[in-house]
């Protein structure tokens, strides 16, 4: 594991203002323990703000090689335990997409995980492709929806031809990637002229983030960037996208999942919360609440 000081992906600035001190040791060399729904521990490295454009980010952060190894080996049984809630979230996202691209066409879901969104899209008439670095995730996705196409790999290694898709989605993905600027520029190449990009990600400008401050639960080691609508629009503009709309996102989880996530914090009675998270009836109690995230629609410039 190596920590690197990253320049700002929007303005390339290297001057940062400290915001929140790290809640985990900087020499903690078990990055995988802090990633995914099945993470063992929760916490974050130092959070800073770019002095040039205002983007909030983790700095220093895990280097791209570490992250590539962690996500390629990622196995996440807890992710699948929330299948029903994730299916409903996927259907909500699909309705969001349909509001801008009513006629189903070719859609690429980057960071497709176990294929829940791609499966919903395929069943709604889309020609769906999913891309994920985790072999385990993709194997589950292929079983779930054999009609869709799923590939194991990274954005850098994917070989989609220019103009391959009318829509590309990155649900809860961009904040995890070391090079968001390069990511969106590559995505732009794969879209048809005037194609659509849809994202969901933490919103640093949300009321939840402002009120909770350093206790905002989206502050995690695996999250490298904390965009606001203003900083996200700057990034999209650099990549020849126009920001069309943002909307607040509500998350849906079972009570068991919420308790399990709270158990990942060492200061919150983790053993007791862990035991409670395994009570079967709590898996059937579903909660919906804001965590300070947004859904985003952006259009590629023709």
DSSP string covering the chain, please?
--EEPPPPTTT----EEEEE--SS-TT---GGGGSSTT-S------EEEETTT--EEESSEE-HHHHHHHHHT---HHHHHTHHHHHHHHHHHHHHHHTT--S--EEEEET-TTSHHHHHHHHTT-EEEEEES-HHHHHHHHHH-TTSEEEE--TTT--PPTT-EEEEEEET-GGG-S-HHHHHHHHHHHEEEEEEEEEEEE-TTSHHHHHHGGG-TT--TT--EE--HHHHHHHHHHTTEEEEEEEEEEEEEEHHHHHHHHTTSTTS-HHHHHHHHT-HHHHS-EEEEEEEEEEEEEEE--
**pLDDT the model gives residue 12:** 95
Give residue-wise pLDDT tens across range 214-254. 999 999 999 999 999 999 999 999 999 999 999 999 999 99
The Cα-based distances of 288 to 81, 88, 97, 250 in angstroms read 16, 11, 21, 6
- The architecture CATH gives domain 77-300: 3-Layer(aba) Sandwich (3.40)
Q: Compute how many other C-beta atoms are within 10 angstroms of the C-beta atom of residue 165.
A: 24
Contact between residue 241 and residue 232 where contact means Cβ atoms under 8 Å apart: no
By percentage, how much of the chain surpasses pLDDT 90?
90
Q: What is the pLDDT of residue 1?
A: 67
Specify whether the CB–CB gap between 9 and 180 falls below 8 A. yes
Q: Pairing relation of β-strands 241-254 and 286-300?
A: antiparallel
Residue-averaged pLDDT of the chain: 95
* CA–CA gap between residue 40 and residue 260 (Å, rounded): 10
pLDDT value at residue 163: 97
Those residues of the chain that have pLDDT short of 70 are 1
Give the model's pLDDT for residue 29: 83
Q: Tell me: the pLDDT tens digits for 79-105?
A: 999 999 999 999 999 999 999 999 999
Task: Indicate the domain borders of the chain.
Answer: 77-300
pTM of the model: 0.96
Q: What percentage of the chain exceeds 70 in pLDDT?
A: 100
């Amino acid at each position: 594991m190596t920590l690197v000081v990253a320049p700002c992906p929007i303005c390339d600035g290297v001057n940062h203002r400290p915001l929140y001190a790290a809640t985990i040791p900087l020499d903690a060399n078990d990055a995988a323990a802090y990633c995914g729904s099945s993470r063992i521990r929760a916490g974050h490295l130092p959070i800073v703000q770019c002095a040039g454009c205002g983007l909030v980010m983790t700095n220093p952060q895990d280097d791209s090689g570490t992250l590539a190894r962690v996500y390629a080996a990622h196995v996440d049984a807890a992710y699948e335990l929330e299948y029903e809630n994730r299916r409903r979230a996927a259907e909500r996202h699909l309705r969001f997409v349909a509001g801008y691209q009513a006629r189903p066409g070719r859609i690429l879901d980057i960071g497709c995980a176990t294929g829940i969104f791609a499966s919903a899209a395929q069943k709604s008439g889309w020609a769906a492709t999913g891309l994920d670095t985790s072999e385990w995730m993709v194997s589950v996705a292929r079983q779930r929806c054999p009609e869709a196409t799923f590939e194991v790999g990274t954005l850098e290694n994917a070989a989609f031809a220019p103009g391959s898709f009318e829509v590309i989605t990155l649900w809860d993905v961009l904040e995890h990637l070391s090079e968001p600027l390069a990511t969106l520029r590559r995505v732009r190449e794969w879209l048809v002229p005037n194609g659509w990009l849809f994202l969901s990600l933490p919103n640093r400008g949300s009321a939840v983030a402002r009120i909770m401050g350093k206790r905002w639960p989206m502050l995690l080691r695996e999250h490298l960037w904390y965009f606001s609508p203003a900083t996200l629009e700057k990034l999209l503009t650099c990549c020849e996208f126009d920001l069309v709309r943002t909307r607040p996102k509500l998350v849906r989880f079972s009570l068991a999942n919420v308790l399990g996530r709270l158990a990942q914090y060492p200061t919150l009675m983790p053993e007791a919360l862990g035991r409670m998270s395994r009570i079967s009836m709590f898996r059937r109690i579903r909660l919906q609440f804001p965590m300070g995230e947004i859904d985003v629609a952006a259009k590629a410039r023709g």
